[in-house]
Amino acid sequence: MKRAKLSAHTVNGRQDSAQPAGRFRQVALAAALASIMAGPAQAAFVTTGNVISATGITDPANWVPSTIGFVGNTADGRLTIDAGSAGKGELRIGRTTGVTGTLTVDGAGSTYTTGNITAGGDQGSGASGNGGTGIVNLTHGGSVITNVATFGGYPNSTGILNVTTGGHFVGTVVLGGNSGNTSTSATGIATVDGVGSSITGTTATTVGNSGTGLLKITHGGSIANTGGTIGAIAGSTGLVSVDGTGSSWTTTAASTSALNVGFRGNGTLQITSSGSVASYIGRMGRFAGSSGHVMLDGPGSSWSVGAGGLFIGGGSPTATGITSNSLITVTDGAALSVQADAQLAVSAGSEGTTLVNGAGSAWTSTGVLRIGSAGTGRASVTDGGTVAANSITVNGSSLLTVDLGTGSAVTATGGEGLANDGTIRLVAGAGTANGSYAPISAATWTGAGTVQALGGVYDPTTHTVGVSTAAAGTAGVEKTIDLSTTQRLLITDTASGQAVGASFQAASAPTDLGLTASLMGGSQLNSLQGLLDPDKAILSAWNFSATGYAQGDPTYLSLEVGPGQRFLDLAVWHFNGATWDKYANTDLAYENGFASFAVTGFSGYAVSGVAPVPVPAAAWLFGSALAGLAGFTRRKGGPVSM
């Protein structure tokens, strides 16, 4: 549309400007005429670069539902639909190697309706099947309605979906590899950001089908569908982050609606800063070789599992050869609720671990909590965390750990109570006051399992632990205690003032145990520092040796690391005299400036955490949760504490 133009005029033979009032009237009149001539806003299809259909139609306004349209076929291309326009036709976006295609649907009423979308790669006629980058942007109420959209469907391709500022996606989303592709090099990324931004569908969302999938739901964005799989095929990796108040992923209550975190691949689900997830069934590390990690962190963060139940490690108690590994952490006031049974290590050969840490952190189940069904389960409740279920069972190879003096509690609310055929470990760290503690409440206690009290004496009649006063020692000097009267030591380095505690099981008769603890230094610390991330530091490191100690007996160490650390930022390391490894403890606690964990042998141990110099806030917010989970993942290869 041509713009109206005002010009100077001639007065008395000279060129002069209009008087201010007259010029204002001219401008206003021109604007009014332009508005009348323009009429209502026109629907728009704006193309840039290579946008064409399979039959050669270059104007998307003329595409029909059966059209196969290319946005970025042999060269980069862009298609923008706005002003209430309605596009149609199947889409291939960023089809070939080195090409980027972008579809943007912007504004309320603007839509694109299609059978299927492939963003990133293609294997149709004329396509390489490799490479290519496809991007879909849905903004300001713009929407896409489709059957299936695959983002990063083929080897070395990347697909990106951005649903922001109230955009809507309706259909099935697959991130990182399509259903017929087993390549691990495909990458799919999706972001659902802001209140009113949404993905909805009548089928499940897959994050990491055969390749890598990343999904972020932030600032009140939402997904509502029938379920999801994070890490679908062997070799795949999927990561989902649900972060912020109002951010949610909700699946329907149908009996087939499951959220799988690690189906045959590796899946991670992070729920932080009051984000929420709800599913009828929850499954983690379902088949052999898979792993599932779920992290709930912060007040208001929640995962609600319905009547289908929660299965952590394996799919069925009768299945064999399921060597999966799964971990769920509930920290800093987050909540996990299950309206049915919850099982750790469901299948033989599987491992399932849960850590409930911090005041306000809670796991509740209306059914049975099985710590180890056919596999090996480990549950740790520390620093004021709570677990409550109708009944609780611990199988023969499994372990339940509860720390003392922090408000941590485990409750069997129903008449069936607690059945222990494995090991229950009640631990008193260096910061625990002496006195009597009863952290487990159950109407009945049954089973042939053992109860270990580290740092005190267990009374099997009252199920209480009397915590002893810690004996004081000096670093570098052996301190001997009689385990029949004293079960705790607190050793202090006189030069630095740093302390370390050790808690042991009581002996029924006089039994001397001598412990020597010395601060590490020099090359030992240098070699460990080289393994840490740049924002991490060694907080405490000690060498230990003991006399009168039986190798394999559990000891609860408490290394002083100072205040201000976050549980998920802490990592425990083991030194075997030559090299360092992440220590696969499953009972880490952080209270009163001490990081505590159980060991079954003495050598060198260290704890790392956030470096004293703060990193930029944005980097911490993005990386701290991932770093914590990565730490737990890497511990799988280190020595295991039981």
**Cα–Cα distances in angstroms (integers) from residue 136 to residues 128, 213, 237, 356, 368, in the given order:** 21, 16, 22, 39, 45
Q: What does 141-173 look like in DSSP terms, one character per residue?
A: T-EEEEEEEEES-STT-EEEEEEETT-EEEEEE
Distance of alpha carbon 581 from alpha carbon 19, whole angstroms: 84
CB distance 336 to 311 below 8 Å? no
- pLDDT value of residue 181: 65
How far apart, in whole angstroms, are the C-alpha atoms of residue 321 and residue 488? Answer: 41
Query: What is d(CA 95, CA 577) in angstroms, rounded to the nearest whole number?
Result: 54
Helices (H) and strands (E) in the chain, counts: 3, 57
Q: What is the sign of the dihedral through the CA atoms of 46, 48, 54 and 57?
A: positive
Instruction: Enter the tokens of residue 333.
Output: 């006031």
Longest dimension (CA), the chain: 123
pLDDT on residue 125? 46
Structural contact between residues 383 and 403, judged by C-beta atoms closer than 8 angstroms: yes
- Per the structure block, which two tokens stand in for 549? 């100690």
Nearest to 289 by CA among 268, 306, 271, 313: 313
Instruction: Give the pLDDT confidence score for residue 616 in this predicted structure.
Output: 42
**pTM for the full predicted model:** 0.88
Distance CA 544, CA 548 (A): 13
Rounded to 5°, the CA angle 221-223-228 comes to 140
d(CA 176, CA 153): 6
Locus of tokens 């990561």 = 239
Summarised one tens digit per residue, pLDDT across range 543-579 is: 999 999 999 999 999 999 999 999 999 999 999 999 9
Sheet of 594-599, strands arranged across: 471-474, 488-492, 499-503, 555-560, 594-599, 589-591
Handedness of CA 461, 467, 473, 477 (dihedral sign): positive
Mean pLDDT of the chain: 89
- Each residue's pLDDT tens digit, 419-468: 999 999 999 999 999 999 999 999 999 999 999 999 999 999 999 999 99
Residue type, 560: E
pLDDT digits (tens, 9 = 90+) for 338-351: 999 999 999 998 99
The correct CATH number of 471-637 out of 1.25.40, 1.10.260, 2.60.220, 2.60.120 is 2.60.220
- Cβ atoms 454, 556 nearer than 8 A: yes
Contact 248, 217 (CB under 8 A): yes
Q: What tokens does 448 get?
A: 């042939």
Domain ranges of the chain: 42-225, 295-467, 471-637
Distance CA 448, CA 205 (A): 44
What does each C-alpha distance from 459 to 408, 424, 453, 456 come to in angstroms?
A: 19, 13, 9, 10
How far from chain centre, in Å, is Cα 62?
44
**How many C-beta atoms lie closer than 10 Å to residue 527's C-beta?**
13
Q: Is residue 225 within 8 Å of residue 200, measured between CB atoms?
A: yes
Counting as low any pLDDT under 50, the low residues of the chain are 1-25, 27-29, 31-41, 125-127, 614-642
Q: What angle do CA 354, 362, 395 make, to 5 degrees?
A: 40
Which residue pairs from 125-128 have beta carbons closer than 8 angstroms and sit at least 24 positions apart in sequence?
A: 125/54, 126/73, 127/92, 127/95, 127/96, 128/96, 128/97
